[in-house]
Amino acid sequence: MADSLAELQGALDTFVEERNWAQFHTPKNLAMGVAIEAAEIMEHFLWCTGDESYSLPKEKHAEVASEIADVLMYLLGLGRALDIDIIAAARDKLAVNGEKYPVEKAKGRSTKYVDLD
Amino acid sequence: MADSLAELQGALDTFVEERNWAQFHTPKNLAMGVAIEAAEIMEHFLWCTGDESYSLPKEKHAEVASEIADVLMYLLGLGRALDIDIIAAARDKLAVNGEKYPVEKAKGRSTKYVDLD
Amino acid sequence: MADSLAELQGALDTFVEERNWAQFHTPKNLAMGVAIEAAEIMEHFLWCTGDESYSLPKEKHAEVASEIADVLMYLLGLGRALDIDIIAAARDKLAVNGEKYPVEKAKGRSTKYVDLD
Amino acid sequence: MADSLAELQGALDTFVEERNWAQFHTPKNLAMGVAIEAAEIMEHFLWCTGDESYSLPKEKHAEVASEIADVLMYLLGLGRALDIDIIAAARDKLAVNGEKYPVEKAKGRSTKYVDLD
């Protein structure tokens, strides 16, 4: 896996700066952007079953990758705007989830997982 | 910025495996998860203005970080399930956007950016 | 089915007016509200299969009804703010869809329906 | 305002039945549909301010009406699939909100409203 989020972040910063778009990139708008693009990912899975969702046609697979990219870019932008290190935040949350869903209780049970918020 | 997505991915894989949750993590469900958590980020910005959205109270800031973490984790899970390298996908998309929104045309104009899909 | 949307709209107008909340109810914010509440509906269906989603436990059923209510109220608010008659809009759209997905071509095929936007 | 939701519901039922689409319309999928279309409404408001969101260009206004229509139709479908009367649900919720946000406390304060879930 390509591993450097910091490099991507740098490229994004340049992109936004060159276009003078920071003025539009308030946290509020970036949060909307994340949600809009998340829905565009989802659109590709609306009518298929869970099983079918693993085997997307090649073209659809590429479109999903492109929407995932959009979500990640808005997410990075939001992290930047609010000074949140998104990888560190995920590590912290994973630790919290580990305590919330201990292996012995959560194993094979989606019902516990449902309460995740 | 914490920089290793691969490390986070590994920790996530272990987390899901230990709980035997892969059975629930179809791409369809993970796409829903991304969208649900994206909306939870957005909830914190519903009634504020764009300007106000920069200065969240400390507790809210922590909650937003936690929701951003959830989006990132579902996004990584989705990438894993579909064999998509999310950082590479973002780099590719950024290159596409660079051609779609050339600096000289897009500078300071959100109207062009609106068409981003 | 309770049938009077106009009556509900009137009750909503009074509710908002009494609290002096119109100042927060810009179309932008109401659109966010619709999306946030839509995600809260979806949250109840995240880990179940399509078949399971028909038979919600009683308490969950009531919660889904409550989230559906939220979406409808924000939708009505948005219609009000933009002077859009939401029932008339749905009737018009249904007519458009009728032409877009003619019975003979669309029958039993979700693939056509996927293109609905 | 066009007032008969029951009439619209009837037209929708016929539309779905003629195309034999009920098989795809599980509550889970319809909930996704609501969220996807909600995001499409939102997309039109991503880069504008709250004030600007009142004055959409004519073409955009028509597109927003069309997305609102989609949300309403999925919402009606979901109500049908789960045997939920969406207007009655909204009336009930409005009564609950009336107690949760009493006029004297909530007047002019979005902060209270933020807690609405």
Closest chain D residue by Cα to residue B48: D110
CA atoms within 13 A of residue B13's CA, in its CB half-sphere: 9
Chain B residues 61-100 with CB within 8 Å of chain A: 61, 64-66, 68-73, 75-76, 78-79, 81-82, 84-94, 96-98
CA dist list (Å): C9 to B117, C1, C14, D78, D87: 34, 16, 9, 21, 10
Chain D residues 20-39 with CB within 8 Å of chain B: 32, 35, 39
The alpha carbon of residue C103 is apart from the nearest alpha carbon of chain D, in Å, by 5
Cβ density class A14-44: b for 16+ within 10 Å, e for less: ebbeebebeebbbbbbbbbbbbbbbbbbbbb
Cβ density class C59-93: b for 16+ within 10 Å, e for less: eebebbbbbbbbbbbbbbbbbbbbebbbbbbbbeb
In 3D, which of A17, A36, A38 has the Cα closest to residue A28?
A36
**Beta-bridge mates of residue B4:** A4
pLDDT in tens, A67-80: 999 999 999 999 99
pLDDT in tens, D6-41: 899 999 999 999 999 999 999 999 999 999 999 999
Backbone angles phi, psi at C67, to 5 degrees: -75, -40
Q: How confident is the model at residue C114 (pLDDT cuts 50, 70, 90)?
A: very low
- What pLDDT does B108 receive? 85
Taking a C-beta distance cutoff of 8 angstroms, is the pair A73, B90 a contact? yes
The CA distance from D3 to D6, in Å, is 9
- What pLDDT does A117 receive? 41
Kindly tell me if the per-residue pLDDT of A106 is higher than 60: yes
Torsion of CA A56, A60, A62, A67, to 10 degrees: -110
CA atoms within 13 A of residue B28's CA, in its CB half-sphere: 26
Residue A83 or residue A115, greater confidence: A83
* B49/D46 CB distance under 8 A: no
- What pLDDT does A22 receive? 93
Structure-token pair, residue D11: 């037209």
Angle between helices A27-43 and C27-43 (to 10 degrees): 50
Q: Average pLDDT in the A84-96 region?
A: 96
The CA distance from C31 to D44, in Å, is 9
The CA distance from A22 to A32, in Å, is 15
Q: How confident is the model at residue D117 (pLDDT cuts 50, 70, 90)?
A: very low
Testing the interface with C: which of A29, A114, A115 to mutate, by most C Cβ within 10 A?
A114
- What pLDDT does A4 receive? 83
Pick from D24, D32, D43: which is nearest to A36 by CB?
D43
- What pLDDT does C117 receive? 41
Pick from B32, B33, B43: which is nearest to C36 by CB?
B43
**Residue A61, Cβ neighbours under 10 Å: how many?**
16
Kindly tell me if the per-residue pLDDT of A39 is higher than 60: yes
The alpha carbon of residue B8 is apart from the nearest alpha carbon of chain D, in Å, by 28
- What pLDDT does B3 receive? 67
pLDDT in tens, D75-110: 999 999 999 999 999 999 999 999 999 998 888 887
The CA distance from A44 to A86, in Å, is 26
3-state SS of chain B is CCCEHHHHHHHHHHHHHHCCCHHHCCHHHHHHHHHHHHHHHHHCCCCCCCCHHHCCCHHHHHHHHHHHHHHHHHHHHHHHHHCCCHHHHHHHHHHHHHHHCCHHHHCCCHHHHHCCC
Rounded to 5, what percent of chain C is helix, strand, coil? 75, 0, 25
Q: Among A4-8, A44-48, B113-117, C34-38, name the one with the lowest average pLDDT.
A: B113-117
* A56/B82 CB distance under 8 A: yes
Cβ of residue C108 closer than 8 Å to a chain A Cβ: no
- What pLDDT does A109 receive? 83
- What pLDDT does A3 receive? 67
The alpha carbon of residue C95 is apart from the nearest alpha carbon of chain A, in Å, by 22
pLDDT in tens, C30-61: 999 999 999 999 999 999 999 999 999 999 99
Residue A15 or residue B105, greater confidence: A15
* C32/B45 CB distance under 8 A: yes
- What pLDDT does B107 receive? 87
Kindly tell me if the per-residue pLDDT of D44 is higher than 70: yes
Kindly tell me if the per-residue pLDDT of D56 is higher than 60: yes
- What pLDDT does A84 receive? 97
Q: How confident is the model at residue C2 (pLDDT cuts 50, 70, 90)?
A: low
CB pairs under 8 A between A and D: 31
Q: How confident is the model at residue A115 (pLDDT cuts 50, 70, 90)?
A: very low
- The residue written with tokens 């990219």 in the block is A69
CA D73 to centroid of chain Cα atoms = 9
Q: How confident is the model at residue D1 (pLDDT cuts 50, 70, 90)?
A: low
Kindly tell me if the per-residue pLDDT of B32 is higher than 60: yes
- What pLDDT does D116 receive? 42
CB pairs under 8 A between B and C: 31
- What pLDDT does D74 receive? 98
Testing the interface with A: which of C40, C46, C47, C111 to mutate, by most A Cβ within 10 A?
C47
